Structure 1
């Protein structure tokens, strides 16, 4: 046959559909483009097996059928029908051109006898069904439509071959003169129902643009709907079983080995390319959440209930495979389509249980998850007491500097020294602890983390860091190096919450140290003549109240929130049956710690922040005053020593003394309020006392309201602690 004209530049609907599918699949599998049929497959319509519009059976002049006797008309029409039933126009029966995806219609010679025409119109739906099915088979055999449609088309082709055998047998009878129109109608009736169902399925798949799982859903629903019609159900069952084979091969590889081999994007689980280690830079655990996702339209309806378990099963095995270990499920068994869903449930449950155990054992035993969590608890939740004493002593001066002036390597060196000097030296994971100087203060970080799961995420994350210059203390936090696959559990979001708890407690510890330093300074101040002043006694009392408050808050957070919650976590981890349970328990642990430490309630946080600010401002004020007292005392001592013990000072000593006095006076002038305006300083202390009491009572009132309304009974412990143990707070 001569070659058809070159392919037109403008694409028809089918060509456009194939191109869209091909581009989509090639984009997903860029390294392995899907194959395509040569263009002549589509350019030669005779290869399709359907009617060729505009051609005729022969060039012979057609005898007007109305002029023939009835028997001759019947004979001619039977011959025509045998052609039409295999997609070839007859002399008196011709196919009409298709409009879109409508069913095939036929034109009959108007002069045909009415009795014959009546019988012919009953038989022609078989030809229309055959036309729809053969077009479907040819179209869906293209690579772009996926393996499930290929398998369905192949199963239909097998049935069409049997249909062709029937037509061949009928033709044999016709040539022997033994096939009347009535007999043809009788023989074709059983096939009529089969082709009608095939055509209906083909039309439904076409209209729904079904591929993969969606094709199987359609077939399953049709099969189920034919309950009561055993022959129709058996036919649909045959087609669904055949079409499901390639899908189940993908499913088996996924649930038994954790591998996806889905070149045509037909499977219910879709793989996205993500780098494992990028988790270090993200707040969310994107790898676990987004590496593999469920594609709803590709879930066969008979697997809908098991979709989450199928996703998890493959993910669990895939994690172990990513770590270089080959896994093959020992209970692997071929999945075969059946109307009894229980069969799938049992197979998937077994695969899921195996995958859960493999990954859980891998993380718990080989990767020592609990030991890593315990190590993080030591540092971030501050239960390694001697380490923090050493660390804060070593870094105190460095952390007072503005964050831009701090040399990170120096802090790292001091951290290393503190680790080596303390009991933390025995921790096998201590080298994973790192320094992190954050770009925001604690409150900003809290808002960022709390906003992660809300609509405010973009607005918060894009917000500029605080314009105020942060001190090292305000910016300081620990960070922890987490390697794959532990980063599934100790993900960036979890680490950020650990950091938030740490910064909160670290600042409380800093305030406690400052208040203790005031006490040490005050011991010296007692030697001064001012120790009898009322305001000085008031300052001592206020400092003790502040210290009691900070220590009680720390005790509450560490021993009434974190320790009990940690023990619950350890207990739950021992009982966990899969990695999702572990993830859930760990997240719950962090959420409970944040909530009970008042870090998820902006109102409580604001009041607590004010209390801490009052304490810090008070310590700064007292330190300045004590320093002034020391300078004044030192001046008197020097003058006394020179004037009495060594006799009258010499001229040289007088000049030196004058210079010292000038310098001292300059320093004292900066603290004039402290030195000379005793009443003013007393008012300042009273103001601190008033502010502290006001904020503390406000905090206790709010805690009482929240603990009652939200049934947060753990917060009542703070109220009891301040009310019973420290009566002067109430």
Structure 2
């Protein structure tokens, strides 16, 4: 077959080095000093002169004419020499006379390089059986070699190859140099008559497993893999070689260490400097800021907030190598915190530890952990010592869990008239003034951060909307698509239903006390404020009979009021004493002992989440609705009792009290049944919370378990 007709892929894959003149020279040496039959052989002296021997048949192999002798007429030593010659040529990718692929050579020229490794090569069956048996053991080496070499050449000549694939080709080329040295040595020994077939197979055999895994690596690496996927693939090969010989494991380890070098330099720059230098878009953290955008150290206070830092860096899991998966959060947060500290104008000595990955060792894990600990501890130190973070967390407990002595009572005293009005008639500035008056004598140095707010929906609706937004964010949807609907033009909410508190933490405190977190805490606070408001009305009515003169008529309304008051107290005590207070105490202790900012953030988020989840049972939105309905029954009862007695007879009054009692017991029974049903939940925390609440309510409800 003429070489001009060969496919480019085949031409780039197979290398032929022997000219006809060189072939004749080599054949002289191989056949020198052999039997009389060998001595009678003649070789041509000119460049175009072919030997004239009956036992030789010149075949065209890949465009080169190679001698193909009649093996049946040769002695065993001659066969051995010819076989070793062809094996050495074939192991170097050179066509040989007696080793043929199991498909036609024209087909090889049309094959992809990745498929050449799958081609099987066969020996001429005229060789001695013992020779064939030894040689067949190492024949797969030919396909492995062609596959590896073609990958190296293709990668080095492809302009668009990434750094990781180029590094793999370079590492394999370095490893192959030892193989080339072996081939040179074998050829020299063959020429000097110092080599036999058994020794050749012995020296080549170790490279079978080596080139096999190299070939497997390159075959798997030829697809459209990014750097992280390629590194993950190579790491898996290291895991697969754990039970193999030491030399092979060391070679694979060395290759992976070299190939991962470029990626680990990006990691090192990010975790130790907070700088992203990723020109080929290989790293799993991506900065969403435009390249010409303002530096984070020049951000205005309005822009620098929790939302900004939550959105600035985007995580791309498909660019994360498997060997960094367990430390992905540390890698991501290390660089992020370094940039946040820069925004806070904090100076510190940065680490400069060289970072590399070596399979089977944990040195890189320790460096990454230290790189994370440095900014995470420093950021906590700044928030605690310079911005009094523990005091702010205690303030949240005091204001939002109504634990500050006299605060809620004084606030309700001052805002009583406003809270009875419809929310449309309320003026937020007026309520804020009353709130300031309430805190006038407080020793809290951060009392000015507390603000009042009028919500445009009830608590159950707020919980539902927040759940939808959180779910959409978890699924990666656009927040705007799950935005709240426009509030109704007329709000059927009283002030005590709409009134809420908010805490305006400034940067950098807002990184921990961010708006989404504060809204979740606000939901809990709104329920407690409502329960406290109902309790206050029942208590005032109890302590001042003159305000409810109808109570003097019979004992019946007094008993009902006592039942209502104790029931509301138990709802409040369940949320505060059973659920919130133990967890908040644990939070305060942890804040004082925390080592990194993430310990505080995670504990704070977990505490508030558990308080809402276990105290308000948002999985059954009807529970919160039922609490408010029950509270409204109590408030309506108070209004009924306080109405002038001249408007009704004693009988009418007693009938009205009976109706309120029946209505209250009906709602309370429904709540208890709901709580008992929720106690069957698979969530251990919710199950225990519901059992505690059911135990509190059973004493006030006429419906017992099993009725």
Specify the TM-score bucket, using the shorter chain as the normaliser: 0.5 to 0.7
Which secondary structure state, in structure 2, belongs to the residue aligned with residue 479 of structure 1? Answer: strand
Q: In the alignment, is residue 571 of structure 1 matched against residue 584 of structure 2?
A: no
Number of the residue aligned with 2:153? 138
The farther-off stretch of 682-691 and 56-65 is 56-65
User: Which of these residues, 453, 458, 466, is aligned with residue 441 of structure 1?
Assistant: 458
Q: Deviations over 1:428-464 (max 9, x none)?
A: 4445444444343122334555678889999997897
Number of the residue aligned with 1:357? 377
Q: In the alignment, is residue 619 of structure 1 matched against residue 641 of structure 2?
A: no
Number of the residue aligned with 1:590? 608
Deviation (angstroms), 1:296: 9.5
Deviation (angstroms), 1:311: 5.7
Separation (CA, whole Å) in 2 of partners of 1:103 and 1:393: 88
Deviation (angstroms), 1:240: 3.1
Separation (CA, whole Å) in 2 of partners of 1:279 and 1:494: 17
Q: In the alignment, is residue 129 of structure 1 matched against residue 144 of structure 2?
A: yes
Separation (CA, whole Å) in 1 of partners of 2:271 and 2:187: 51
Number of the residue aligned with 1:422? 439
Deviation (angstroms), 1:505: 1.8
User: Is the 8 Å Cα contact of residues 270 and 276 (structure 2) preserved in structure 1?
Assistant: yes
Deviation (angstroms), 1:214: 1.0
User: Which of these residues, 486, 497, 503, is aligned with residue 526 of structure 2?
Assistant: 503
Number of the residue aligned with 1:608? 627
Deviation (angstroms), 1:362: 3.3
Deviation (angstroms), 1:62: 6.2
Deviation (angstroms), 1:606: 5.5
Deviation (angstroms), 1:196: 4.7
Separation (CA, whole Å) in 1 of partners of 2:62 and 2:582: 93
Separation (CA, whole Å) in 1 of partners of 2:575 and 2:193: 95
User: Is the 8 Å Cα contact of residues 436 and 476 (structure 1) preserved in structure 2?
Assistant: yes
Q: Could you say if the C-alpha distance between residues 606 and 543 of structure 1 is closer, same or farther in structure 2, counting changes exceeding 3 Å?
A: same
**Would you tell me which structure has more helix in proportion to its own residues?**
1
User: Which of these residues, 260, 280, 284, is aligned with residue 244 of structure 1?
Assistant: 260
User: Which of these residues, 348, 358, 364, is aligned with residue 337 of structure 1?
Assistant: 358
Separation (CA, whole Å) in 2 of partners of 1:525 and 1:68: 126
Alignment of 1:309-320 (within 5 A): 317=338, 319-320=340-341
Alignment of 1:34-183 (within 5 A): 48=12, 50=14, 65-66=69-70, 70=74, 84-89=90-95, 96-97=108-109, 99=111, 101-104=114-117, 105=119, 118=132, 124-141=139-156, 142=158, 146-167=162-183, 178=192
Q: Deviations over 1:674-720 (max 9, x none)?
A: 63666434422332244345655776898899999737786589569
Number of positions where the alignment pairs a residue of Structure 1 with one of Structure 2: 615
User: Which of these residues, 221, 228, 233, is aligned with residue 215 of structure 1?
Assistant: 233
Number of the residue aligned with 1:193? 206
Q: TM-score, normalised by structure 2?
A: 0.68
Separation (CA, whole Å) in 2 of partners of 1:553 and 1:122: 81
Which secondary structure state, in structure 1, belongs to the residue aligned with residue 242 of structure 2? Answer: helix
Alignment of 1:275-290 (within 5 A): 287=310
Alignment of 1:518-529 (within 5 A): 523=546
The farther-off stretch of 377-386 and 114-123 is 114-123
Alignment of 1:254-265 (within 5 A): 254-259=270-275, 261=277
Deviation (angstroms), 1:503: 1.0
Which secondary structure state, in structure 1, belongs to the residue aligned with residue 529 of structure 2? Answer: helix
Q: TM-score, normalised by structure 1?
A: 0.66
Number of the residue aligned with 1:663? none
Q: Could you say if the C-alpha distance between residues 70 and 487 of structure 1 is closer, same or farther in structure 2, counting changes exceeding 3 Å?
A: farther
Q: In the alignment, is residue 470 of structure 1 matched against residue 492 of structure 2?
A: yes
Which secondary structure state, in structure 2, belongs to the residue aligned with residue 505 of structure 1? Answer: helix
Number of the residue aligned with 1:710? 688
Deviation (angstroms), 1:547: 5.0
Deviation (angstroms), 1:570: 0.9
Deviation (angstroms), 1:373: 1.9
Separation (CA, whole Å) in 1 of partners of 2:570 and 2:178: 87
User: Is the 8 Å Cα contact of residues 317 and 327 (structure 1) preserved in structure 2?
Assistant: no
Deviation (angstroms), 1:132: 0.9
Separation (CA, whole Å) in 1 of partners of 2:63 and 2:656: 118
Q: In the alignment, is residue 230 of structure 1 matched against residue 208 of structure 2?
A: no
Which secondary structure state, in structure 2, belongs to the residue aligned with residue 236 of structure 1? Answer: helix
User: Which of these residues, 630, 654, 659, is aligned with residue 687 of structure 1?
Assistant: 659
The farther-off stretch of 186-195 and 561-570 is 186-195
Q: Could you say if the C-alpha distance between residues 622 and 153 of structure 1 is closer, same or farther in structure 2, counting changes exceeding 3 Å?
A: same
Which secondary structure state, in structure 2, belongs to the residue aligned with residue 382 of structure 1? Answer: coil
Deviation (angstroms), 1:92: 7.0
Deviation (angstroms), 1:501: 1.4
Deviation (angstroms), 1:77: 7.6
Number of the residue aligned with 1:643? none
Q: Deviations over 1:152-211 (max 9, x none)?
A: 22121123344445545666777xx5468x558845753553365134233245337564
Unmatched runs of 5 consecutive residues or more in structure 1 = 5-42, 630-673, 724-730
Separation (CA, whole Å) in 2 of partners of 1:169 and 1:532: 113
Q: Could you say if the C-alpha distance between residues 684 and 425 of structure 1 is closer, same or farther in structure 2, counting changes exceeding 3 Å?
A: same
User: Is the 8 Å Cα contact of residues 453 and 502 (structure 2) preserved in structure 1?
Assistant: yes
Q: Could you say if the C-alpha distance between residues 189 and 242 of structure 1 is closer, same or farther in structure 2, counting changes exceeding 3 Å?
A: farther
Separation (CA, whole Å) in 2 of partners of 1:244 and 1:416: 62
Number of the residue aligned with 1:379? 399
Separation (CA, whole Å) in 2 of partners of 1:187 and 1:707: 76
Which secondary structure state, in structure 1, belongs to the residue aligned with residue 115 of structure 2? Answer: coil
Deviation (angstroms), 1:232: 2.7
Which secondary structure state, in structure 2, belongs to the residue aligned with residue 225 of structure 1? Answer: coil
Separation (CA, whole Å) in 1 of partners of 2:99 and 2:548: 119
Separation (CA, whole Å) in 1 of partners of 2:213 and 2:84: 26
What is the root-mean-square deviation in Å for CA atoms of aligned residues?
5.4
User: Is the 8 Å Cα contact of residues 168 and 255 (structure 2) preserved in structure 1?
Assistant: yes
Number of the residue aligned with 1:12? none
Deviation (angstroms), 1:336: 5.4
